[in-house]
Amino acid sequence: MTSTFVRAPLALAVSMLLAQSTLWAASLPAVDHSLVPQVAAKAKAVADATPRLQWQMRALPSAFDAKSLGAEGAARAHLGQLLARQDVGKHAGEAFELHSTSPLSGGAHIVQFTRRVNGIEVFREDVGLLIDAQSRLVAFRGRDALLQSQGKSLPAFVLGAADAAALAMSAYGFDRPIAQKSLRPADRAGDYEWFATTPGLRSATGAVNRRPVRVKPVYFPVAGAGLVPAYYVETQIQPGEHAAAEYYAHVLSAVDGRVLFRHFQQADGAIP
């Protein structure tokens, strides 16, 4: 795709690698157990938890032919070098899947990868590399993507996708067994499954589900505990008769069902 920064200086394109967040008031509390304790203790430190940008300006090693590699190949070569320099070993089932390649002014590219382990996405551990026209690495952005994966075998997924959907709904007062019984598969695409609920189903507090619940499996990086099997769940629920529907993203442990992450999507315009 063509960048909107075509006429801007190359350095300006770096801003495309940074995520922006805004806190809004909402019915459910925000949760993020991926944050290190010092950051999690700060109520307004969301910006401190966003992926860090690292300036590199490193040339492509002479062993690689920049012309034959292209932008993705050059980015993968630099990523491999970053892993090697930091002495970070890859998990046996770890891979970096191409998410996007965005051409910029002067022949530069932003190349973004999604990290997967055993074929399952690692939540928010995407990486972005800014490669200039000479295939040099200008900047790198990632949330712990180069931290060593757990060498031991990962915990198994105990709960299913429908369990996670019902758990997310229970935050609005829906009885979990009743909600789970009402759920029925509605669609599937890529990593996602959609579950519809029985029409007219209301929680004890009067909440109504307004859209099929969207669910996908992920690994969630918990501070100090490594990767935890989990489900990313998106809900659109109207908490009361005179209230507007609320869009939430939840991540729920597939081991014990606890809430690992919750984000009010209207806060940054991320309406599902």
pLDDT at 215: 98
Lowest mean per-residue pLDDT among 14-18, 28-32, 33-37, 78-82: 14-18
For 30-67, what is each residue's pLDDT tens digit?
A: 999 886 554 444 434 444 444 566 777 788 877 788 77
pLDDT at 66: 73
Mean pLDDT across 203-210: 91
Phi-psi bin for 76: left (phi > 0), alpha (psi -120 to 50), beta?
alpha
Mean pLDDT across 104-109: 93
pLDDT at 65: 80
Task: Report CA dihedral (166, 169, 174, 178) to the nearest 10 degrees.
Answer: -20
Lowest mean per-residue pLDDT among 69-83, 107-121, 143-157, 234-248: 143-157
pLDDT at 170: 96
Who has greater pLDDT, 243 or 231? 231
Contact (CB, 8 A) for 232 and 215: yes
pLDDT at 71: 93
pLDDT at 5: 40
pLDDT at 62: 75
pLDDT at 234: 97
- Is residue 3 over pLDDT 90? no
pLDDT at 94: 82
- Is residue 150 over pLDDT 50? no
- Is residue 203 over pLDDT 80? yes
For 162-198, what is each residue's pLDDT tens digit?
A: 999 999 999 999 999 999 999 999 999 999 999 999 9
Q: How far is CA 123 from CA 37, 38, 106, 157, in A?
A: 19, 21, 33, 15
| Count of alpha carbons within 13 angstroms of residue 206, beta-carbon side | 6
- Is residue 266 over pLDDT 90? no
Q: How far is CA 231 from CA 14, 157, 251, 267, in A?
A: 31, 9, 5, 21
